[in-house]
Chain A
Amino acid sequence: MNMFIGITGFILSIVLPGYSVATLAYPHMKRSHQYILGTALGMILVPLLTFFLCILCKTVFTYTSLLACSCIITCSASLSKNVFFRKREKEPCIS
């Protein structure tokens, strides 16, 4: 059960925000590469931003703080994608 919660937490707070940043930054990259890059980006960016968030909120690393950070990154990336880079999505995909 703990392992299941851990894996779910990892996907939601590391892979998901990383993937959203990867799709925003590299929209024409292969999907598989976006997943791989997304995991790496999540592993690099999320912990540091969570650390920042924890200092601001005077708390420690928990599921909640990591998920909150994940939400911030994912929502920011999705918003940026829809607002600033709408034209890019219409370009043909180069595989």
Chain B
Amino acid sequence: MTKGGKALRFYAGLCILILFHLKAFLQLGLRHIGIKRYPYLSSLLRFLRAYLTDLSIRIAESNCVYVTAAKWAMYLIFFGFIFLSSFCRYEGPVTGYWDTYLSLPALFMKNHAVQFVSTEGHELYQYTLPGKLPDNLVNHDTYGIISKDQRIGSSITATPFVVFFPAYGFRLFYAMTITGIAVFTFLCMRVLGVGRGIALLIAYVSVGNAYLTSLTHLNPNVIGMWCIAVLLYLFLQPTRPWLLLGLLYGVFGGIRNEGIMFAPAIMYLLFATSTHKIRDFVLFSCGALITIAPILYWNQYAFGAMLIHPSQFAHHEGFRPTFPHSFLWWQFQFNGMFNFPLHTEIVRTPYFAFPTFLTIPLSLIHILGLGLSSCAIIGMWFFFKNDRHRARFTWLWFVPMVLLFLFQENWSDMKTTFILLFMHPLLLWAGIGLSALVKVPKKALWGWLFLCGITIALVVHLMVYVYVPVDERWFVRFPRATHETFAFLGDDLRTKPEDKNELDEQRTKLTNPQLFPALDFSFLVKSNFFMTLKNGLQDSPLKVIDYWKYIYGEQV
């Protein structure tokens, strides 16, 4: 019999099996209702479980043309849906703070001038672009450093899309990065031996969660998450070309400087698994140095120092106060707001119910739901038991990055997207845990899952009693923020006094996690494709509000 014939026989057999079970269930099950469960249903469940987890009932060979075609059709529909929904959802370019200071440098790198306007629509500057890099990106008399305090790496990554697709470049870039996250999360799961069904589920959770679907503009953390998915896929492979990995890591460092926090994990993997440790270390370092060199040059050119975080540049236009911090005997001034132990007391950012070190874990549990959060704990243990090196690698990938953000205040809704940078290890553990639960028929494992779920639910519910005073430094830092500017940022609450009811609502939402992941499908009804398409670069010249001036600069 041909391969196609075998596949046909397999699917026909499956259909007959299901029909037979249904018939038998109706005839026998209903007759004995209340006495005993229909016994043969379990065989059908076993069959479906095996199919979902890829234990594979190998009646049809995996490379059979029909099976392959069906598989690819399924992938196409799944990832095509993610791509199209993201493509329609995008509401940029140049709307909102982050989107503006990511898309403007990309436009200037393409030599596409824009018209800067005030919120009333008055033109702000007269300028001509020199037509070369990096001179296009800095003009001290008018727009200043065009990327402001944002990293230039994200803009560089977006620029080819603007060159090739002038009208829809940013939209396409946005859609491709989100689809890329889903694709590479799926591939990561497959590399770890997780079944196709669970891998697709986790891939959807990675991009369909409420935090990511609420982002309708370019966001450096989404771009960072896409790079992380690619990097993790390559690091989890059995063979690792360290030069290429170094090149990619260097690019990621230019997109999100926080990438430095992944260095311990990478070094651990290199020294634990490589057979030529020194050679691979040199290759990796050279690769990273090659791709970070243009960013270092840009830092030197724009900010006057190679190793500087753009937000710490002292000569940005406007008012950016520093605050005293201390840790043990070390005292320093910092243009940001750390929480305890670097501050004198535990505080929370105004308009947020909890300090960041509680907001982040509660938000992660809210995204994953109690089910996947418990699976993540089981998966972490299961992964460690089966593959210690890669398990330790994911741990080291996760912990330093979380620690970096836990004690930062000056939080905002947009900043909550930083959790996208450390979501991947959790998703991988959740996938492994879910897979283990389905594959290994041990009641003890389900018991542990139940116990984890109860413990998480209990701890999270207890958080409702945590009350922390407001960080008064925030009002010093943003005295010039107007209602209009924060409304543009999607944060218009922040110019009104705190509302107790809204804080309570937030508190209730975060301390009452659902069983299932917080997936959001509301964008399906909200996405107005034809309305938002006009936001392409059709306008000539494109009018851009200079948001910076309203938050830190002279405009009040």
Residues in A lying within 8 Å of B, measured CB to CB:
2-3, 5-7, 9-10, 13-14, 21, 25-26, 33, 36-37, 40-41, 43-52, 54-55, 58-63, 66, 95
Q: Is the CB of B133 within 8 A of A40?
A: no
Q: Is the CB of B241 within 8 A of A26?
A: yes
A95–B254 alpha-carbon span in the complex (Å):
35
Instruction: List, in ascending order, chain B residues with CB within 8 A of A59's CB.
Output: 131-133
Q: Is the CB of B163 within 8 A of A44?
A: no
Q: Is the CB of A51 within 8 A of B165?
A: no
- Distance (Å) between the CB of B525 and the closest chain A CB? 29
Report the contact-size class of chain B (Cβ under 8 Å from the partner): 35 or more
Cβ of B227 under 8 Å from chain A = yes
Question: Given A40-B184, A55-B294, A60-B132, A50 and B160 touching (CB < 8 A)?
Answer: yes
**Interface 0/1 of B84-111, CB less than 8 Å to A:** 0000000000000000000000000111
- Distance (Å) between the CB of A63 and the closest chain B CB? 7
Q: Which residue from A6, A10, A44, A47 sits with its C-beta under 8 Å from B227?
A: A44
A87–B410 alpha-carbon span in the complex (Å):
56
Sample of 12 further A-B pairs with CB below 8 A, known A37-B234, A55-B134, A59-B133: A3-B165, A7-B164, A25-B244, A43-B160, A43-B180, A47-B160, A50-B159, A51-B156, A52-B294, A55-B297, A58-B133, A63-B163
What is the number of contacts between chain A and chain B, taking CB atoms within 8 Å? 103
Instruction: List, in ascending order, chain A residues with CB within 8 A of B63's CB.
Output: 95
Q: Which residue from B109, B165, B251, B294 sits with its C-beta under 8 Å from A44?
A: B251
Question: Given A45-B247, A66-B160, A66-B163, A61 and B110 touching (CB < 8 A)?
Answer: yes
**Interface 0/1 of B43-76, CB less than 8 Å to A:** 0000000000000000000010000000000000
Query: Top 6 A-B pairs ranked by shortest CB distance?
Result: A6-B164, A25-B241, A52-B294, A60-B111, A58-B132, A54-B133
Cβ of B176 under 8 Å from chain A = yes
Q: Is the CB of B136 within 8 A of A60?
A: yes
A43–B176 alpha-carbon span in the complex (Å):
10
Instruction: List, in ascending order, chain A residues with CB within 8 A of B165's CB.
Output: 3, 6, 10
A44–B244 alpha-carbon span in the complex (Å):
11
A3–B67 alpha-carbon span in the complex (Å):
34
- Distance (Å) between the CB of A83 and the closest chain B CB? 15
**Interface 0/1 of B211-249, CB less than 8 Å to A:** 000000000000000110010011001010100100110
Q: Is the CB of A61 within 8 A of B163?
A: yes
**Interface 0/1 of B149-166, CB less than 8 Å to A:** 000010011111011111
Q: Is the CB of B183 within 8 A of A36?
A: yes
Question: Given A36-B183, A44-B230, A55-B133, A10 and B109 touching (CB < 8 A)?
Answer: no
Q: Is the CB of B157 within 8 A of A47?
A: yes
- 23 example contacts (A-B, Cβ-Cβ < 8 A) are as follows A9-B164, A13-B160, A25-B241, A36-B183, A37-B230, A37-B233, A37-B234, A40-B184, A40-B226, A44-B227, A44-B230, A45-B291, A47-B160, A50-B159, A54-B132, A55-B294, A60-B111, A60-B131, A60-B132, A61-B162, A61-B163, A62-B110, A63-B164
- Distance (Å) between the CB of A54 and the closest chain B CB? 4
Interface of B is mostly: helix
Residues in B lying within 8 Å of A, measured CB to CB:
63, 109-111, 131-134, 136, 153, 156-160, 162-166, 176, 180, 183-184, 187, 226-227, 230, 233-234, 237, 239, 241, 244, 247-248, 251, 254, 291, 293-294, 297
Instruction: List, in ascending order, chain A residues with CB within 8 A of B247's CB.
Output: 45
- Distance (Å) between the CB of A4 and the closest chain B CB? 11
A63–B165 alpha-carbon span in the complex (Å):
11
Q: Is the CB of A45 within 8 A of B251?
A: yes
Q: Is the CB of A52 within 8 A of B160?
A: no
Instruction: List, in ascending order, chain B residues with CB within 8 A of A54's CB.
Output: 109, 132-133
Q: Is the CB of A33 within 8 A of B160?
A: no
A37–B226 alpha-carbon span in the complex (Å):
12
Instruction: List, in ascending order, chain B residues with CB within 8 A of A13's CB.
Output: 160, 164
- Distance (Å) between the CB of B242 and the closest chain A CB? 10
- Distance (Å) between the CB of B191 and the closest chain A CB? 10
Question: Given A44-B251, A45-B248, A48-B156, A61 and B187 touching (CB < 8 A)?
Answer: no
Chain B residue with the shortest CB-CB distance to A58:
B132
- Distance (Å) between the CB of B515 and the closest chain A CB? 33
Q: Is the CB of A51 within 8 A of B109?
A: yes
A46–B247 alpha-carbon span in the complex (Å):
11
A55–B152 alpha-carbon span in the complex (Å):
14
Q: Is the CB of B133 within 8 A of A10?
A: no
Chain A residue with the shortest CB-CB distance to B176:
A43
- Distance (Å) between the CB of A46 and the closest chain B CB? 7
Instruction: List, in ascending order, chain A residues with CB within 8 A of B230's CB.
Output: 37, 40-41, 44
- Distance (Å) between the CB of A60 and the closest chain B CB? 4
Q: Is the CB of A60 within 8 A of B109?
A: yes
Instruction: List, in ascending order, chain A residues with CB within 8 A of B227's CB.
Output: 44
